[in-house]
Amino acid sequence: MTGMLPKQVFLAPMAGITDKPMRRMVHAKSGGDVALISEMVAINALSRKNAKTYRIADVRDEPYPVIVQLVGADEVLFADAAQLTAELGAAGIDINMGCPVRKIITGGAGSALMKNPEQAAKIIKSVKNAVKLPVSVKFRKGWDNNSVNATDFAKMCEASGAEFITVHGRTRAQGYSGTADWNIIKEVKSAVKIPVVGNGDVTSPQSAAEMIKQTGCDGVMIGRAALGAPWLTGEIAKYLKTGSLPQKQPAQEVKNTLLKHISLLTEYYGEKLALALSRKYVCWYSKNFRDAKRFRENYMKINDYQAAVAEINAYFDQNGEEE
CATH number of the domain that 289 lies in? 1.10.1200.80
DSSP state of 42: E
Q: Residue 132 belongs to what domain range? A: 9-242
Q: Is 4 within a domain?
A: no
For the entire predicted model, the pTM comes to 0.95
User: Catalytic residue numbers?
Assistant: 99
Taking the CA atoms of 204, 186, 92 and 104 in sequence, report the sign of the dihedral they define. Answer: negative
What does the pLDDT profile of the chain (323 residues) look like in tens digits? Answer: 345 899 999 999 999 999 999 999 999 999 999 999 999 999 999 999 899 999 999 999 999 999 999 999 999 999 999 999 999 999 999 999 999 999 999 999 999 999 999 999 999 999 999 999 999 999 999 999 999 999 999 999 999 999 999 999 999 999 899 899 999 999 999 999 999 999 999 999 999 999 999 999 999 999 999 999 999 999 999 999 999 999 999 999 999 999 999 999 999 999 999 999 999 999 999 998 999 999 999 999 999 999 999 999 999 998 655 55
Q: Is 293 within a domain?
A: yes
The three-state secondary structure class of 240 is helix
CA distance 292 to 296: 6
The distance between the two most distant Cα atoms of the chain, rounded to a whole number of Å, is 59
Residue pair 77/127 in contact by the 8 Å Cβ criterion: no
Taking the CA atoms of 304, 225, 29 and 292 in sequence, report the sign of the dihedral they define. Answer: positive
Residues 173 and 309 in one domain: no
CATH number of the domain that 202 lies in? 3.20.20.70
For residue 137, give the nearest of 64, 206, 67, 226 by alpha carbon: 67
* DSSP string over 111-180: GGGGG-HHHHHHHHHHHHHH-SS-EEEEEEEESSTT-B-HHHHHHHHHHHT-SEEEEEEEETTTTT-S--
- How many structural domains compose the chain? 2
DSSP state of 289: B
